[in-house]
A and B are shown apart, each in its own frame.
Chain A
Amino acid sequence: MTATYRPAEPIWCAGCGHFGVEAALIAALADLDVPKEETLVLAGIGCSGTIQNNMGTYGYHALHGRVLPTATGSWEANPELTVIAAGGDGDGYAIGMGHLIHTFRRNPSITYIVMNNGIYGLTKGQNSPTRQGTAALDAALLGLSVLETTFIARGFTRAPDQLRRLTAAALTHARQGHGFAFLEVLSPCVTYNDTYPRWETEHIDLDADDTYDPTDRSSAFTRVVALEAEYRIPVGLIYHDPSAEPGSFPNPASADIDPVRNAEAYSGIIDRYRI
């Protein structure tokens, strides 16, 4: 067996929410028996953007804000991979926000985990677009407003079992080719913005609410707006498109690039220019 890198020890402060995200991801990948060599974890830049070092899978450290287009490119190139994008709220909702909207729209079968702590951890505590919990900017609402969106969930690192379930559900959605699985995790930064106490009281579990129907986009939207008006943060499976079908995708990574076998076809293109 060829030896590969030894997964790194997390570099996070004791108590950082990101530990919980990593634990849930490792557990969910194990629950689903995803082979490490078929898993590609791409991360943004931030404290959150070190998670890929700790996994033992293929790992990639994207540019700040660009983890979604990078992950989209990897998945388009080889849709047989389990492609997981991860990053912080600064990475995803500030510098990278444009890409999030277009990824909802494009709906590639990748999983995206945003570790929302309301601040920029790595650069030492500046405000992020979600500084007031989620009231300032809610990516779940944004996702609901894009008609192509197929999966939106929010977890909380204080609810590890649910987080593991939601992570597995997101991974399954993407791995089955149903589309883009978006999972935001309330993942407090204990050093610069300890939101544990607030989020403990503000979060509300939609999974525990029998009257909530996560397959109904418009009622989901109405409910999320209503909850946020009461300063509550909805957690759980927020929306899941029940009609999402597994797509069939080209696989450039296994395309035949042999020039001899392709010569005739290439000549056909050249013929179009004959004069």
Chain B
Amino acid sequence: MTRVLSDLNAMVAGQGGDGSLTVVTLLGNVLAGRGFHLYSTRNVASRIKGGPAAALVRGSIEPRTGMGDTLDVFVAFDTEAIELSGHRVAADGFVVYDSSAGPLPSGYLPDDVTVIEIPFGRLAVADLRRELYKNSLAFGVVSRILTFSDTEAASVLEARFASRPDLVERNLEALREGFTFADDHGFTQNAGPLRLTDTKHSDRILISGNHAAALGCLVAGVRFFAGYPITPATEVLEFMTRHIGSYGGVAIQAEDELAAVNMALGASLAGVRSLVATSGPGISLMQEGIGHAGAAELPLVVIDAQRAGPSTGMPTKSEQSDIGMLVHGGNGDFPRIVLAPGNPSDAFELAMTATNLAQAIQGPVYLMLDQAVSQDSATVPPFDVSNVEIDPGQRLTHDQLDTLDAYRRYAITDDGPSPLAVPGMPGGMGLVTGNEHDEWGKVSTDPVNRVAMMDKRARKIEAVLDEMPTGHRFGDPSAPVGIVGVGMESGVMREAAERLIATGTPIAGLQPRTIWPVPHETLAFLASKERVYVVEHNHEGQLAQILASVGRDCATVTSILKYDGLPFTPAELTTRIAEKEAAT
């Protein structure tokens, strides 16, 4: 009997450097070729080589940003993989175990799981002289389980090694050896136990949130980047180092985050759209500089790829525990905006918005990601670059500057931002400072001026409230119960809502994409519900606290929190909400 799947979850695990990724990449290529949406994630120890490493992929007819509850196919290259992740396999799932690692550890897998034991590693070394070929061997077996035709599997493998023709033949040999083993275990061609449902291929890209955000900034005109390597933000540094030079820009690896943020401020001062990207520890170091952007009125985009804190925390694990710092961090009051994408499409779009908003408010705009949104990849429609808008804000042209009687860097205006000249423009000389200043930029502690300047800066936010990204809605809009969450919760909240609705608990969902200032949309959503669950990855309920501090009707808010370093599975989140609902 062949079971037809519209949602496949697979995992390949071994030691770092094992090449586990290869099998998952190949599998993903088949799935994508068949028109499935992909979500892919990794699970790595924070070290270079060695240590348990896993690659996971989900292929589904519905777009999903998160893994499913259980694994349908699990390739384990060692005993540790079984011990760590065996419990995740579905009762009707398939385990392909590399028995060269020793006998299958007992007690970790559900009872009815089908296990195929093959000494991949040993065979790869004996027959093909290289252990790495075990990946192609394993892919051969997985292909047969999933009823991919042998030619389909081979063509995906060939495409994968297109740039390394020297490796193609040996890998094909390994693949065929995998087929032979599958035959021996009764998995003959075109008659596997699992099969993908039919669907139409559509044009998609597979991209991570970090790459999507970096690209969005580039497209919106960012031409200066400064960063310092830190997990899970490093891909932004890598992307910019690789691409920005071709567009006349500069990317610098600074000596630390203090330097990075101040370099970006200097570039912004010179009129260039500037970006920094880091994670919690780096955001902590950048606080003074970000406040300076607020006071001195310098446009700046800051990407925070959040990881589990506090302090060095768990560098490779996702969390949303910087929310409070982004919203309230830094000394003194200054206007700032915090946007939060939930998938790569959001990341691209909000990165463009953030870049323009930074110009519009002449101040700091955070793009808040979390490790899962930053580093996991998902298929999305190719980004549209035909309709990109570049908002110059109050930036003056030479002609506009010439028509002014006087140029005051901090001229008080009705809507907040002042006309902006940049160094090199005759007549635009100004003084830029983080000290309180008068309209000319001269230091001032005059109480009347102080109030005028504080109010002017605050007005800049009111002026752009309508341009803030609106949230994504899901679930049953008329339900009296609501669910709210951002970033990595976006995908899993949808799945939980679908299940709750299907089992008779109507629920309405909102994924706000503007966190700060708290938009009217979010408050209206809270006010319209009897109860709202705020789902977040931290210990203190930071998002809920912010909503409660601003919203009037927040007595209804209940936090659903997780801070063990793992994402919610759909089942887990569904149960957590169902239990609370049952108790009300």
Give chain A's interface residues, CB within 8 Å of chain B.
Answer: 1-6, 8, 35-40, 42, 50, 52-53, 56-63, 65-66, 69-78, 80-81, 98-99, 101-102, 250-259, 262-263, 265-267, 269-270, 273-275
Contacts and interface: CB of A to CB of B under 8 A. Distances in A.
A42 B266 contact: yes
Output the residue of A78, A258, A263 with the most chain B CB within 10 A.
A78
B59 to A, nearest CB: 11
B255 A98 contact: yes
Interface of B: 28-29, 32, 38, 203-207, 211, 215, 218-221, 223-224, 226, 243, 245-250, 252, 254-256, 258-260, 262-274, 288-289, 292, 296, 379, 382-383, 385-386, 388-390, 401-402, 404-409, 422-435, 440-443
B250 A77 contact: yes
A6 B406 CA distance: 11
Contacts of A102: 254-255, 259
B247 A262 contact: yes
Contact of A73 (B206, B270, B406, B442): B270
Given A59-B431, A266-B385, A269-B215, A255 B423 contact: no
A72 B266 contact: yes
A196 to B, nearest CB: 28
B266 A3 contact: no
A269 B252 contact: no
Given A72-B263, A77-B272, A267-B385, A275 B432 contact: no
B288 A63 contact: yes
Contacts of B388: 259, 263
Nearest to B377: A273
Nearest to A11: B443
B223 A37 contact: no
B306 to A, nearest CB: 23
B203 A99 contact: no
Q: Closest 4 CB pairs between A and B?
A: A73-B266, A255-B248, A2-B427, A73-B263
A59 B430 CA distance: 6
A105 to B, nearest CB: 9
B550 to A, nearest CB: 30
17 contacts: A53-B431, A58-B423, A58-B429, A65-B258, A69-B254, A73-B224, A74-B267, A74-B270, A74-B423, A76-B224, A76-B266, A77-B266, A78-B424, A98-B256, A263-B386, A265-B247, A275-B379
Given A2-B406, A76-B250, 4 more contacts: A63-B289, A78-B423, A250-B248, A263-B388
Contacts of B432: 58-61
B567 to A, nearest CB: 23
B246 A265 contact: yes
Contacts of B264: 73
A38 B424 contact: yes
B423 A37 contact: yes
Output the residue of B220, B245, B383, B401 with the most chain A CB within 10 A.
B383
Contacts of B243: 269
Contact of A66 (B224, B289, B389): B289
Nearest to A105: B255
A73 to B, nearest CB: 3
Given A4-B427, A99-B255, A259-B219, A76 B263 contact: yes
Contact of A252 (B206, B248, B425): B248
Contacts of A37: 423-429
Nearest to B435: A61
B224 A274 contact: no
A104 to B, nearest CB: 11
